[in-house]
Structure 1
Amino acid sequence: MAALSAITLFSQPRFVFSSSSSSSLSPSICPLIPPSRNPSRSMGFSIERKKRSPCAVRASLSSVNESVSEILFDVPILTASTGESVLFKDLWDQNEGMAVVVLLRHFGCPCCWELASTLKDLKPTFDLAGVKLIAIGVGTPDKARILAERLPFPLDSLYADPHRKAYDVLGLYYGLGCTFFNPASAKVFSRFESLQKAVKNYTISATPDDRSSVLQQGGTFVFKGKNLLYARKDEGTGDHAPLDEIIDICCKTPVA
């Protein structure tokens, strides 16, 4: 595959700054980036967010509100296969079941195709340990199916969150700085061969129609029943959780 440019790599639209202001994006040329987002208000509850430095939290439960599980479990997402709405609390056994929940950026992100490819290879390890793999992406179910068919990726482990409700509940990073200008995004260039292999059937048509969605970052979470055991927010594009940590927590065996 031909060398990927930075724009192609992150699957973003081109952003052009308006001539009237060097700090604002021209709404006539590029998607608007909302100054603040809290769609949870429209879901019947409100999450009070404390001010924090963008893209500055590593893997830590302290970066996630203690009551987030209770709120998250009532958030609806859509199955990739049929578009059926399901609640988080119905995705795994809420007593002792283990689940690895990986929130991808969006279905048209090449770095997420790379991550999804790795998760697909690890799924037999999760299955053997009785761990449910749940991969969620920003976009509609039809965009999710593009990734599932072309990568490929198991449809029964793939879900869509077109309105980013789960991302907001978990406080995942969003914005131009996290997407393009955080040093953590440079990590992907050390995995160039892996990325090339994962995107051999890639198509940009999997990108959400709502182009503001491409500024969303993802994260990885491990649950045992209702208890959150591990939380990591991606600081930049391609800054994914170390999967050997996930395997150690869920399966107690090192990654092969």
Structure 2
Amino acid sequence: MLQMRFQQTRGQSASRVRLATPNVRARRCAVAVHASAEYEALRGKVAYKASSGDPVELTSLWEPVLGSKAVVVCLTHFADLTSWELAQKLVKIIPTLEGSGVKVMVLGLGNVNNAQEFARILKFPMDRLYAYPTADLYTALGFNPGFAPQLQVSPYVKLLPMLAGVGSPGTIQEVVRGYVGDNAAPPVFDSPTPFDILGSGYQRPFELATLRLFNMMGILPKWQELCPPDTSLLTQQGGCLVFSGTSVVFKHVDSGILRYTEPDSILQAALQADYTSSSSAITTPNSQSGPTLEAEVQ
């Protein structure tokens, strides 16, 4: 029996992977695999290409065979700080993923016009970006709907408690981390900045908070162009999936605002996806130390 355990620690620049192979020779395992629940949730769902507006069935974007790897990132809506911050990090790893044969698709909540404006402002590759107009897929994938989804009040009102951490676990801690810095995280800015006087090689105090301020200044003037027509989507949170064929090998469920998975974890999970589980992957997202994934191959 082969066991693979993937652990992510929030704020770390890289994730730790432990691969234990008792009494098993190092080789690729051929197993009969049933489609995961996440793959079935995607099957038949149609998103819209930001590049053209054309509809596309999501599972048609990669081959349903062992070793065919795909990363599906489900952003929140296109006017959300979380989506902006994650997209700015994703553009740095997409070339590495695709250079290793991994298909990349990034979904966001809203319409094609929202997606196109998002891509234009952030210089995000439009041919990797898709608009999804409703929350049904996110619900099927078990993503957090946000504060009091059944409460019949304005979603703008619901956002207020979420910003205070209600229905959005970890958001307050993440906001604080943006101000105090994080010795275990890489710098936010690649080019020289005034933050360099505080040292290098780590996330300096106020560095991440400054990026978030810049992003907010970019979002507010373009709110109408970026905000989804269905404003109930404003509180819906996202997540990330890594597939090998029809089997999910990594899943992260965002617990709340700004609580996305780090792209380094996506990168490592995708490049470690040569082993495919014979049953659905087990994930424990949003624990204190981050998500843990365990997969077994008989």
TM-score (norm 2): 0.59
**CA separation of 1:197/1:128 partners in 2, compared to 1, >3 Å: closer, same or farther?**
farther
> Alignment partner of 1:103: what SS?
strand
Cα deviations by residue, 1:18-42 (Å, 9 ceiling, x for unpaired): xxxxxxxxxxxxxxxxxxxxxxxxx
Identify unmatched segments of 5+ residues in structure 1: 1-64
Structure with the higher strand share, 1 or 2:
2
Map 1:229-244 → 2, pairs under 5 A: 229-244=249-264
User: What residue identity is the alignment partner of 1:144?
Assistant: A
For 1:193, which of 210, 217, 221 is the aligned residue? 210
Give yes or no for contact 2:49–2:131 (8 Å, CA) kept in 1.
yes
Cα deviations by residue, 1:91-144 (Å, 9 ceiling, x for unpaired): 112223211111111001022111011101111111211111211011001000
Give yes or no for contact 1:117–1:198 (8 Å, CA) kept in 2.
no
> Alignment partner of 2:242: what SS?
strand
User: What residue identity is the alignment partner of 2:82?
Assistant: C
TM-score (norm 1): 0.68
Cα deviations by residue, 1:45-99 (Å, 9 ceiling, x for unpaired): xxxxxxxxxxxxxxxxxxxx94331232221111112221111111112223211
> Alignment partner of 2:170: what SS?
helix
Structure 1: distance between partners of 2:76 and 2:84 = 10
Which residue of 2 is the match for residue 161 of structure 1? Answer: 132
**CA separation of 1:230/1:200 partners in 2, compared to 1, >3 Å: closer, same or farther?**
same
Which residue of 2 is the match for residue 60 of structure 1? Answer: none
Map 1:153-232 → 2, pairs under 5 A: 153-176=124-147, 179-180=162-163, 181=166, 182-186=168-172, 187-189=174-176, 190=178, 191-198=208-215, 201-202=218-219, 203-205=222-224, 206-232=226-252
Which residue of 2 is the match for residue 32 of structure 1? Answer: none
Task: Compute the RMSD of aligned alpha carbons.
Answer: 2.1
Identity level (%)? 30
- Tell me the CA shift for residue 200 of structure 1: 5.8
Structure 2: distance between partners of 1:160 and 1:90 = 16
Cα deviations by residue, 1:129-166 (Å, 9 ceiling, x for unpaired): 11112110110010000100011100111001111232
Structure 2: distance between partners of 1:174 and 1:71 = 16
More relative contact order, 1 or 2 (CA 8 Å, 6+ apart): 2
Which residue of 1 is the match for residue 6 of structure 2? Answer: none
Give yes or no for contact 2:112–2:130 (8 Å, CA) kept in 1.
yes
Structure 2: distance between partners of 1:66 and 1:151 = 33
- Tell me the CA shift for residue 237 of structure 1: 0.6
Which residue of 1 is the match for residue 284 of structure 2? Answer: none
Identify unmatched segments of 5+ residues in structure 2: 1-34, 149-160, 179-207, 273-298
Structure 2: distance between partners of 1:167 and 1:196 = 28
Structure 1: distance between partners of 2:175 and 2:270 = 25
Give yes or no for contact 1:151–1:199 (8 Å, CA) kept in 2.
no
Which residue of 2 is the match for residue 116 of structure 1? Answer: 87
For the pair 1:128 / 2:114, whether they are aligned, the reply is no
Give yes or no for contact 2:36–2:246 (8 Å, CA) kept in 1.
no
Larger Rg: 2
Map 1:1-256 → 2, pairs under 5 A: 66-95=36-65, 96-176=67-147, 179-180=162-163, 181=166, 182-186=168-172, 187-189=174-176, 190=178, 191-198=208-215, 201-202=218-219, 203-205=222-224, 206-251=226-271
Give yes or no for contact 1:111–1:195 (8 Å, CA) kept in 2.
no
> Alignment partner of 1:176: what SS?
coil
